[in-house]
Amino acid sequence: MASSRYELLVICVLSFFFALSHSKTLKGDGKAIILEEMEISHLGLVSQGDYRVVTELSLYAVSIVGPFPIAVTNLLDLTRLDIHNNKLTGPMPSQIGRLKRLNLRWNKLQDVIPPEVGELKRLTHLYLDHNQFTGRIPDAFYKHPFLKEM
- For residue 32, being part of any structural domain is answered with no
- For residue 59, being part of any structural domain is answered with yes
Q: Please write the tens of the pLDDT for every residue from 26-69.
A: 444 444 444 444 444 445 555 555 445 788 888 888 888 899 98
- For residue 31, being part of any structural domain is answered with no
Describe the strand order of the beta sheet including 108-111 as a list of residue ranges: 65-67, 87-91, 108-111, 132-133
- For residue 34, being part of any structural domain is answered with no
- For residue 67, being part of any structural domain is answered with yes
85-90's contacts with Cβ under 8 Å and 24+ in sequence apart are 85/60, 85/61, 86/59, 86/60, 86/61, 86/62, 87/63, 88/64, 89/65, 90/66
- For residue 149, being part of any structural domain is answered with no
Q: Please write the tens of the pLDDT for every residue from 91-135.
A: 999 888 789 999 999 999 999 999 998 888 899 999 999 999 999
Domain count, the chain: 1
Domain that residue 77 falls in: 2-26+40-143
The CATH number of the domain holding residue 47 is 3.80.10.10
Which pLDDT belongs to residue 103? 95
